[in-house]
C-alpha cells in the first residue's frame, strides 16, 4: 500500500515573526505569538511560465565524484548519479521500494533471495546490461579491498551473488535481511569494461535515462538523453545541474527565474515568493533526522562521559529553533532515529526536554563546573538553515557553560574530514542521517560504532542493531528495535534535533512529485 507523502506544492504564507526571530538569533521567542499555519495555501490564476528546452536544476553541494559505487548525497552527486545509473530496486517518492533493473524478487529462505532481471537494459554506448554485469558489480562491492564505499554495509550480511541464468540473480546471505530489496536501491550498476578502463570518479556510463555530457565537480553537470534507455522517455532532452552552494546564490537564481527547481531554500527566504506567478514552494518534513553527531573517540574528550552528552541534550532548545527558523513545519525528534510518518516510533521513548538547570548540574557532576569548549563542524550550504541553527545552539549552550566553536567547511572537505581520523575530527558534526525507505532498519547503520562516518563508542547498541537487522520474526525485530532505541537515548550518543525540513521552490511550468529524501532526479520532472 502506498504511503502518502507529507509534502505538497503550495504558496507559502509569510511569517514576519519568524524572520524577526531569526535575525535576533532566536532570542526570547518562547513567549511570542504562534506563527501562521505553514500548511496554508493560495492559488494563482496567472498563466504558466514558459519552460525552456533545458531543464534547470539547482544543487546545494559541490559534487565529490560521480562514482556510482561511492554513494552520493541527495543534494549533490546523488541526484546526478540517480539520473544516469540504475540499480536493482528503486525507492519511490512515497518511500516505497519498487522495481528497477529487477522486475520482481522472492525470498527463498532466510539466507537466499532471488531477483528476476530485466533483459532490455542497455548502457548509453549500446552495451547490454546483463545478469553477469550485475554479478560483477556486487563482486566488486563485496571485496574488502575495493574502494567503493557502498559495499561496506553489504559485506555485513551478503556472502556472494550469482546468476544461474540470464534473467535471475541470487543473493546468498551470511545473515538474514528482511529488507534486502530496500538495501539495494543505491547499488548502482556500471559496465565492467568501462569501469576497468576509465576513471569512474569523473567519467560515467550508465543505463539510466540520461548520460553526462560535461562535468565540473565544483559547479555542476550537463546531461542529455541516453539513446538506448529502455524506460519512458523523459520530458527534457537536456538537463543542467548547477551547484549553488550558498543561500544567497540560490535566492538570486530564483529571483532571476534562472532555475526550474531549487531545493534547500531557507523557509525565511521562501517567504518572498508568496506572490510569485513563477514559483510554488514546499515546506515539509523529510524522512531523515538532523542530529549533532558526537565524537566519543578523541583522546581525553569530555564527550566520553555520558553525563556530558546528556547535558548537551538537556541544553538544546529544539522547539525554539523550529519555531524561529522552520515555521513550525517539523517537531522535535522523539529521542530516536525512527519518527512518524516514515517509521513507527518506539513508544515511551521521548526527546530530552529543554532543562538548562539539569544540564548545568550534570556538567558539575562530571567535573566540569567551569565549563567546556567544543567544536561543531557544519557543512556549508548543505542543510536548510544550518548556519542559523548552529548559532542558536551556540547561544543556548553558552547559558550552561559550554563554549561552542562553529566551523563551516565546504562540503567536499567536510566529507573528507568525516571519513578521516577521529582524533582530527570535530567534537560534534551537524549532519543528516537515516534511511530512505519504509519498514527497513538500515537507517540505524550510521549510528553504529563501525560506520565510516561514526565516532561513537556504543557496543550495546551495536549488538542490538546486528540482532534486529538479522531478525526473521517481525515481533522479535520490533522488540529489539525498542531496546536499541532506548539504549541509544539513555547513553545520549547523539543530540537528536529535528526531522530534516524539506524546502523547495518549483516552477509552475514543470510537474514533479517531490521526493522528501531530496534526491532530484531529472527524469522525474515533466512539463506542466
Three-state DSSP at 256 gives coil
pLDDT for residue 182: 92
CA distances from 119 to 71, 166, 425 (A): 25, 8, 46
Q: Give the pLDDT confidence score for residue 507 in this predicted structure.
A: 97
**Average pLDDT of the residues in 132-137:** 98
C-alpha cell at 394: 551556540
Would the pLDDT of 452 be above 90? no
Q: Which of 20-29, 119-128, 164-173 has the lowest mean pLDDT?
A: 20-29
Q: What is the pLDDT of residues 4-21, one digit of tens each?
A: 456 555 543 333 223 323
pLDDT in tens, 195-227: 999 999 999 999 999 999 999 999 999 999 999
Checking if the pLDDT of 483 tops 60, the result is: yes
**Percentage, residues of the chain above pLDDT 90:** 69
Q: Is the CA virtual torsion 356, 361, 366, 369 positive or negative?
A: positive
How much is the pTM?
0.83
Beta-ladder partners of 496: 291
Cβ-based neighbour number of residue 37 at 10 Å: 11
Mean pLDDT of 120-147: 96
Confidence of residue 419 (pLDDT cuts 50, 70, 90): confident
Span 377-415, pLDDT tens digits: 998 878 889 999 999 999 999 999 999 999 998 877 887
* Percentages of the chain per state (helix, strand, coil), in multiples of 5: 30, 25, 50
Which pLDDT belongs to residue 356?
98
* Structural domains present in the chain: 86-189 (3.90.76.10), 210-278+508-527 (3.40.190.10), 286-500 (3.10.105.10)
Whether residue 89 has pLDDT greater than 70: yes
What pLDDT sits at residue 29? 36
271: exposed, middle or buried (Cβ count in 10 Å: 0-12, 13-18, 19+) = middle
Average per-residue pLDDT for the chain: 88
What percentage of the chain carries pLDDT values higher than 70? 91
Q: Return the minimum-mean-pLDDT range out of 66-80, 169-183, 245-259, 309-323.
A: 66-80
Q: What is the pLDDT of residues 221-280, one digit of tens each?
A: 999 999 999 999 999 999 999 999 899 999 999 999 999 999 999 998 999 998 899 999
pLDDT digits (tens, 9 = 90+) for 22-54: 323 333 333 332 333 333 333 457 889 989 999
- Of 517 and 310, which is predicted with more confidence? 310
In angstroms, how far is the first alpha carbon of the chain from the final one?
27
Give long-range contacts, CB 8 A cutoff, 24+ apart: 341-348. Answer: 341/3, 341/4, 341/6, 341/285, 342/95, 342/287, 342/435, 342/438, 342/516, 343/435, 343/438, 343/439, 343/443, 346/481, 346/482, 346/485, 346/486, 347/482
Q: What is the pLDDT of residue 144?
A: 93
Query: Looking at residues 96-122, what average pLDDT do you find?
Result: 97
Q: In the predicted model, is pLDDT for residue 105 greater than 80?
A: yes
Using DSSP, state whether 302 is helix, strand or coil.
helix
- For residue 22, the model assigns a pLDDT of 35
pLDDT of 274: 85
Amino acid at each position: 500500500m502506498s504511503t502518502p507523502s507529507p509534502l505538497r506544492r503550495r504558496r507559502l504564507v509569510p511569517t514576519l515573526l519568524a524572520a524577526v526571530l531569526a535575525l535576533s538569533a532566536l532570542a526570547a521567542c518562547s513567549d511570542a505569538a504562534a506563527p501562521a499555519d505553514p500548511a496554508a495555501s493560495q492559488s494563482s490564476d496567472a498563466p504558466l511560465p514558459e519552460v525552456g528546452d533545458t531543464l534547470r536544476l539547482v544543487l546545494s553541494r559541490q559534487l565529490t565524484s560521480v562514482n556510482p559505487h561511492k554513494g552520493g548525497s541527495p543534494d549533490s552527486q546523488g541526484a546526478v548519479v540517480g539520473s544516469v545509473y540504475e540499480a536493482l530496486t528503486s525507492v519511490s517518492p512515497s518511500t516505497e521500494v519498487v522495481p528497477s533493473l529487477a522486475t520482481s524478487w522472492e525470498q527463498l529462505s532466510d539466507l537466499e533471495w532471488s531477483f528476476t532481471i530485466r533483459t532490455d537494459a542497455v548502457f548509453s554506448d549500446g552495451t547490454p546490461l546483463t545478469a553477469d554485469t550485475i554479478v560483477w558489480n556486487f563482486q566488486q562491492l563485496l571485496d574488502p579491498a575495493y574502494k567503493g564505499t557502498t559495499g561496506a554495509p553489504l559485506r555485513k550480511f551478503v556472502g556472494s551473488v550469482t546468476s544461474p541464468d540470464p534473467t535471475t540473480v541470487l543473493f546468498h546471505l551470511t545473515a538474514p535481511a528482511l529488507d534486502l530489496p530496500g538495501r539495494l536501491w543505491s547499488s548502482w550498476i556500471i559496465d565492467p569494461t568501462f569501469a576497468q578502463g576509465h576513471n569512474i570518479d569523473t567519467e560515467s556510463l550508465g543505463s539510466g535515462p540520461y548520460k553526462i555530457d560535461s562535468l565540473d565537480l565544483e559547479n555542476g553537470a550537463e546531461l542529455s538523453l541516453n539513446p538506448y534507455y529502455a524506460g519512458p522517455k523523459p520530458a527534457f532532452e537536456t538537463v543542467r545541474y548547477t551547484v549553488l552552494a550558498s543561500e544567497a546564490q540560490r535566492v538570486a537564481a530564483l529571483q532571476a527565474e534562472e532555475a526550474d527547481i531549487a531545493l534547500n531554500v531557507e523557509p525565511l527566504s521562501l517567504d518572498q515568493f508568496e506572490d510569485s506567478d513563477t514559483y510554488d514552494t514546499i515546506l515539509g518534513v523529510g524522512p531523515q533526522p538532523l542530529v549533532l553527531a558526537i565524537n566519543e573517540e578523541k583522546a581525553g574528550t569530555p564527550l566520553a562521559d555520558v553525563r556530558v552528552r546528556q547535558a548537551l541534550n538537556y541544553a538544546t532548545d529544539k522547539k525554539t529553533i523550529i519555531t524561529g527558523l522552520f515555521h513550525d513545519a517539523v517537531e522535535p525528534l522523539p529521542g530516536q532515529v525512527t519518527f512518524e510518518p516514515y517509521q513507527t516510533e518506539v513508544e515511551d521513548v521521548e526527546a530530552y526536554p529543554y532543562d538548562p538547570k539539569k544540564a548545568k548540574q550534570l556538567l558539575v557532576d562530571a567535573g566540569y563546573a567551569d565549563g567546556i569548549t567544543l567544536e561543531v563542524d557544519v557543512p556549508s550550504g548543505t542543510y536548510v538553515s544550518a548556519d542559523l541553527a548552529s548559532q542558536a545552539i551556540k547561544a543556548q549552550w553558552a547559558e550552561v557553560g559550554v563554549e561552542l566553536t562553529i566551523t563551516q567547511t565546504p562540503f567536499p572537505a567536510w566529507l573528507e574530514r568525516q571519513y578521516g581520523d577521529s582524533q582530527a575530527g570535530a567534537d560534534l558534526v551537524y549532519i543528516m542521517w537515516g534511511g530512505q525507505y519504509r519498514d527497513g532498519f538500515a537507517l540505524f547503520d550510521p549510528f553504529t560504532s563501525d560506520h565510516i562516518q561514526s565516532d561513537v563508542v556504543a557496543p550495546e547498541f551495536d549488538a542490538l542493531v546486528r540482532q534486529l537487522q538479522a531478525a526473521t520474526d517481525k515481533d522479535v525485530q520490533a522488540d529489539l528495535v525498542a531496546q536499541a532505541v532506548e539504549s541509544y537515548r539513555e547513553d545520549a550518543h547523539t543530540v537528536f534535533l529535528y526531522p530534516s525540513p524539506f524546502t523547495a521552490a518549483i516552477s509552475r511550468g514543470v510537474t514533479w512529485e517531490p521526493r522528501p529524501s531530496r534526491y532530484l532526479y531529472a527524469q522525474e520532472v515533466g512539463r506542466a
